[in-house]
Structures are given as structure tokens and as C-alpha cells.
Amino acid sequence: MISGDTTATGAYAPIPSTFSRTSLRLGSWFQTRPLRARALAALAALFGAGYLVWRVLETSAGVDPWLFWPLFSAELFGYASFIIMVVETWSLPPTPRPPAHDVAVDIVIVTYDEDLDVVEPTIIGAIAVRGRTRVHLSDDGRRPEMRELAERHGIAYVTRDDNAHAKAGNINAVLPTLTGDLVLILDADHVASPDLLEAMTGYFVDDNIALVQSAHSFRNHNSVMHYESGRHEQSLFFDVLLPGRNRLESVFWCGSAAIIRLSALRAVGGIATVTSTEDFETSLLLQKAGYRIRYHNEHLVQGLAPDNLASYTVQRARWDEGTLSAFHWRLRMPFGRRLRLSQQVSYLGTLLHYLTPVQRLVYAFYVVLVGVFALIPVAMPGPAGVAFWAAWMLLSALSATALHRGVSGRVEGIRSLLLALEPHLRALPALVTRRPMRFQVTPKNEPDLGGWGAVRLLRLPLIMAVVLGLVLVARGIDSAIGALGGTGILPPLELSAFLVISVFSILDIVVALQLAVRAHRRRQYRRLWRFPVQLRAHVAGTTALCVDLHQGGASFIVARDVPELAQRLEFSVECRSITREATTARGTLTITSRTAVGASGATTRVGGAVEWHDERSRVAVIAHCYVVEPYLARMRAWTRSAPRLPVTITARLGDAMSTCIDVSIGGAAFLTPHGTWGLHDRVPIELQLATGESVLGDFQVRSIAPSTAGLVRVGGSAEWSHTAWLARYGAVVHSPGPRPVRVRQLSRQ
């Protein structure tokens, strides 16, 4: 959770965190050293098994079974979770883009009560997706403004008379109207990348593939669940666990950003409605019917993460109760003979994840028993035994860090656990009861005012932290009195036992207090995330630079004397479309902030709300911010890490007939008879493929070197008109290179 006001220093490239260096340097070091990570994990697994055997044989003698076995069961629970994590993250195979499959695809955007500012960018992004598509807005809110929005953008509008089965019912209502071979389902806030179908439709050449899931990426990097720019609480799931689950055939639909084969969906009766997590339940039905589900490890969709703790709690409560209801003792949906053993093991790991808060409370309970009543649940083995326990704790934490590959650390894992502690625990009755659950949509585009209202949402971890703190303080005071020759009130306790409970307690106390302080201090007044940009602009007739932008506001760097007296300024900003066409958006800025820039104060940053002069300007800004910026940033990131494919393709570089000698998703190199271009020049390119197809691109020169036969080799980055053709010349693979991509981090203003 990022505290304080933050701003990105440049456009964020939505790529998996496992491909980029993060602030977790040790984990990032293992990104390109998988063999060392596996060796460490194997050592930890063997060491942990030995530790558990030692616990039973050497530390159970003479201990009350009611004290020994609950604690040992909690440790066994942790070891089982660790082993499943090792199995799932053992290997992350590269993600190739298979050649695109030319099929008709329906794009369904589901909405209920989201604002127009949330839904419209999703519509504009869906329209920009390349391929044979038809876009549908499926509105369970039956709102006239949504119908008008759909008509304005020329897409189909679908609604129904009731809200039965919530999101699942909403999707099922539109299914009979779909005529394509595949359906792409998007949540109301999930803006798709133009090349999504080019990346994912190729899987469906295999008739047994029913669903392909892609990552959920989030554009609002100041959300309550972000650790740093691009890395957040769900990064571990999407960037590490799901890629690993491809090997185990245990990937499941995550509700959005997935393409589904319509014939397979209809074969299992449509979207499942027994539980409120229709995605997980539908996945199980497809797998039990013999279909396969794959995960494509690219960030091709960007949505909204919960802005504040209240929204986060709503989201997690729905996920927790819905998922656990699938594990209800009568249903046991994730288990059964029609699922593979690897799938059942993986889903067992999902169940253990939701039960982890119970393990945490068991440990806290034992801290009280030991600290207050000196009830020792193990036959204390002395310093050597404590060292054995400490070595297991350290080795398991280090190997988890290695396998998480810089995506999540030990402290962040505890932070996430404490944030979700109360929603997890409140959802546990879903395992044994069948009470109806009210589907509540996660609030979006909300401010975060922090304060005590936010802190109250952390009441359970704070109560636990206070109890643990009081136990340590009481035991410390009592021990000090005894050391000074007095008589303590509490039963005597060995130092080794006190050290063990202190190590456990202090970490939880520190993390809980840190969460509370950050929650109290957070102040995010904007409803919409401002996209960091670097766009040429004119403000009040003078040249300026637009540095952040969205459909409702903007900020500019201008000469100091421009905004000194004015409250409203006319401006224009140069946007780009996905086809690289320049569009000028014009509007009026109502200034709400002025900040001097630089030591000299010669320039000023002005920002505020915007009124656009026409609909064309507003749509151009939405397309640039939500579609073009993340797409181009991702292409630039892949330029530095995606492997180049050797080719021989007739090309035109500017006005010179040339030969393209290698290509990648974000770059190319040419042999050309002359090199009249300079570094960083932008040059139009055209490739003539063997199929007769012409591919256009925008090329930026990065290197110029002499070659044989008087030719010049020119290399650089490329923005292609489309990317489907690349897979025909070799696998387009995304994987960590020897030097992982550096992504721009968030910095404090």
C-alpha cells in the first residue's frame, strides 16, 4: 500500500513483474537464475520435512496433547501450503504468442452501477481491438445514459428485466444474441489492448481449449493494494502462480480479460450460477467436461484496483465467500474423479490460502498461552532446537522470496494477510452453510480520505497486535522484576520460549501498525487516475508541456507569467491514435493548483478540471490515455527484452528500398543502401511479407553501423500497425532476459 501523494515519472509499461527489476532486489536477482531458486526450494522442502519429523519425535514427549497437536497442525498446514507453492512456482515457462486465429469474436462488457467515466474508456478500448469483432454493452442497471453511450459509439446495448444471479445472469442474458466463435468478457473498468486477439486467439486452433485467461493489470498505481508502480497484491497470482499453473492444468477464469469458446460455454449450460464466484465455478464445469484452460502471461487489459480500504474490503468479502462456497462440504466442486490430481492439489492450495487466517490466529493464541500462562506446547529442546526452528523459518522465507521472483516479499505477504484478515474470517461459514450471498460490485473511482474511518477497517489485525504487544510488555516487565530480585506475578518462562514468541509477535505488530499509519495518512482526492504523459501542448497561445491527463482534468508545465492572473485558460494538446495519427484536443482548463517548477521558478505547473470544446476532443483524450499510452509503453518495454527473430523481408525504410533482417514485437533491424538518418529519428517503414500482405510501422532509429557490401545496418524500436504476422516467422516469446526490464517507479511529489 503506497502512502502519501504519488506520481509516476513516465508512462507505465504493463508487463509482468517477473520480467522487471522491482524494489525487492533479492527476489529480482532470482528472475534470471531459476536453477538456483529451485535448488533453494528443494533444500527448504527437505529441511522442512526433517523439521516436522523432529518436532514429533523430539518435542512431544511429556507435553499435553491438547497443547502439542493444535500447534503442530498449524505448522503442518504451513508446510503443506509451502509445498504446493513450490510445485506451482517451480517453473514459469515462457509465454509464446501462437499465430493468430482468424475467427469472429464477440466482446461483452458487463456493467451494473459503474459511472460513465469508468465504462466509456472500456468501450473505446474494445472498439480499438483489432480483428473481426462485435462489441456489446450488457447493462444490468437498465440506465438510459448507458443506452445512449452505446448508441453514440455504435455498439450493441443489451439489458434484461431483473438482476437474477448478478453478473452470471447478466452474461447469460446476452449469450443467445452472440454469433461469433469466441467471446471476450470484460468487466466495466477493464480496457483492452488493441493486440489482445492477436496474442490470444491462436490457442483456439486446439478444439480442446475452452478458455484462455490473461493478466489483470491496474492503471491506478496509487491504489490501496499497490506496493510500487505496476506491482500490487495480485501480482503474485497473475505473474507467478497462474503461469506456473499452466503446467498443472489448474488455471481458472478470473471473471474478466478472458476469451471463451462459445460452443464449450453453451455445452456446460452457460455461466454457472450455484455460487457467487461464477468464474471459478464455470472453470470447474469446463474442466470436468474435458476442456482445457490456458493462461497467457501478457498484460493486455488494464482495470481499476480498489481505491481505498472500504472498496478493498467489499471486493475481498465477495471473492472470499464466493470461492469458499465452491468448497462447501456438500458441493466440494474443486475435487472429484473428473479432475486431474494436479488440478485438485492446486485447488487445495487455493483452499489453504483462504484458511491461512485461522492458522495466524492459532499462532496468536499460543503466544498468549506461552506469554501469560507459561503453557509450553513443546518439550523445549534448548538453544539447538530453537536454532533448528529458526533455520526452517529463514530457509522457507528465503526460498519463497526466490520463487516469487521479486513479485512479493515476506513482509508484503504478512501485510496482505492482515489486510484481508477480517474478510477471510467472515467468509469461513460459507464452507458449512448455504446462506444466500448478496452480490456487491466493488466501488470504483472513489477518493481515499484516510483518517480514523480507514483505520477502523483494520480493527481485527490491530486488536491482535495490541493483544500480542500487551503480552510481550507484561512478560518483559515481569521478567525484569524477577531479574532485580523481586517476585513476578506471571509463572516463570524460559528465555528461549520468550524469544520465539517475540519473533512471531513483533513482526505482526510492526506490520499492523504500519498499515494503520498508512491508512490514516492516505489522502487521495481525485476520483480519476491521471495518466502521466509527455505531450506537446499550447496554453493561452504559448508552447507548453502536458504532464498528466484524463478525460476530466490535466496538468501543464508553462511559462511562469502565463497563469499568474488567469483562472481559466484555453489550451490544446496533441494526442495520438492507435494508428499513429495525430489528433489535437481542445479544451478549457479551470486552474485549481499552481506549483513552481525548478529552482529558478521560470516555469509553473498548473492543473485542474477540463471542459472539452467538442466530443471529438474528449474521445481522442480517452483513446490516447487509456489505449495508446499503455500499448506503446508495453511495446517499448518488449523492445528491450523480447528476442529478435532473424528474417529476410523486403522492406521500405523511409524512401529507401531495404531488407529487414530481424524483427521483434517492439523492434527491427534493416540493411539499407544509405544511412541519412540520425539517432532517434522517426522513420515510416513498410514490410512486404511473402503472403503479399503489407505491414506498416513507425520506426525510431537506435543504432547505425556499417555492414558488408557498402550497406548500412540500422536498428531500433518499431510500432507495428498490427502484430499478428510476427508469430508466422517464429515464436513471439515473452520471458525475463539476462538483464530484466527496468520499469519506472512511483516517486513522491
| 90 within some domain | no
CB 666 within 8 A of CB 641: no
Tell me the C-alpha distance between 519 and 453, whole Å.
Answer: 9
What is the DSSP code string of 177-244?
A: G--SSEEEEEETT-EEPTTHHHHHGGGGGSTTEEEEEE--EES-TTSTTEEETTEETTHIIIIIIHHH
- Residue 734's pLDDT is 65
Say if residue 654 is in the same domain as residue 625. no
Tell me the C-alpha distance between 604 and 588, whole Å.
Answer: 18
What is the DSSP code string of 518-539?
A: HHHH--B--SSPPEEEEEEEEE
| 258 within some domain | yes
- Residue 340's pLDDT is 94
Tell me the C-alpha distance between 97 and 725, whole Å.
Answer: 11
| 334 within some domain | yes
Say if residue 612 is in the same domain as residue 694. no
Tell me the C-alpha distance between 213 and 217, whole Å.
Answer: 13
Tell me the C-alpha distance between 670 and 716, whole Å.
Answer: 9
Say if residue 607 is in the same domain as residue 648. no
CB 512 within 8 A of CB 458: yes
- Residue 9's pLDDT is 46
Residue 94's SS3 state is coil
Distances, alpha carbon 373 to alpha carbons 365, 376, 411, 471, 490, in Å: 11, 9, 29, 10, 7
| 207 within some domain | yes
- Residue 276's pLDDT is 83
Say if residue 165 is in the same domain as residue 274. yes
Tell me the C-alpha distance between 736 and 91, whole Å.
Answer: 13
Residues of the chain with pLDDT under 50: 1-9, 742-749
Give the mean pLDDT of the chain.
90
Q: Which residues pair with 700 in a beta bridge?
A: 682, 717
What is the DSSP code string of 693-738?
A: -EEEEEEEEEEEEE-GGG-EEEEEEEEES--GGGGGGS-EEE---S
Which residue among 292, 324, 350 closes a domain? 350
Task: Tell me the CATH number at 237.
Answer: 3.90.550.10
Say if residue 718 is in the same domain as residue 570. no
- Residue 207's pLDDT is 96
Sign of CA dihedral 187, 190, 191, 193: negative
Say if residue 269 is in the same domain as residue 315. yes
Tell me the C-alpha distance between 665 and 489, whole Å.
Answer: 71
Task: Tell me the CATH number at 720.
Answer: 2.40.10.220
Q: What percentage of the chain carries pLDDT values higher than 90?
A: 68
What is the DSSP code string of 62-79?
A: TS-HHHHHHHHHHHHHHH
**Which residue shows C-alpha cell 514490410?**
687
| 80 within some domain | no
Say if residue 656 is in the same domain as residue 588. no
Domain extent for 319: 95-350
3-class SS string, 353-392: HHHHHHHHHHHHHHHHHHHHHCCCCCCCCCHHHHHHHHHH
| 419 within some domain | no
Structural domains of the chain, count: 3
Query: What is the separation, in whole angstroms, between the first and last Cα of the chain?
Result: 17
What is the DSSP code string of 100-123?
A: PP--EEEEEEEESS--HHHHHHHH
Count of helices and strands (H, E) across the chain: 21, 30
Q: What is the DSSP letter of 409?
A: -
Say if residue 614 is in the same domain as residue 706. no
Strand (E) or helix (H) holding 19? none
| 4 within some domain | no
b (16+ CB within 10 A) / e for 485-520: eeebebeebeebbbebbbebbeebbebbbebbebbb
- Residue 482's pLDDT is 82
Say if residue 114 is in the same domain as residue 179. yes
| 71 within some domain | no
Left if phi > 0, otherwise alpha if psi is -120 to 50, otherwise beta: which for 570? beta
CB 648 within 8 A of CB 659: yes
Which residue among 636, 671, 689 closes a domain? 636
Pairing of strands 667-672, 712-720: antiparallel
Which residue among 597, 621, 636 closes a domain? 636
Helix pair angle (341-373, 459-483), 10° resolution: 40
Say if residue 145 is in the same domain as residue 239. yes
Say if residue 647 is in the same domain as residue 620. no
Pairing of strands 258-261, 191-192: unpaired
Say if residue 622 is in the same domain as residue 712. no
Picking from 666, 696, 665, the residue whose alpha carbon sits closest to that of residue 683 is 696
Helix pair angle (459-483, 495-521), 10° resolution: 140
- Per-residue pLDDT tens digits for 560-606: 777 666 789 999 999 998 877 889 999 999 999 888 887 777 788 99
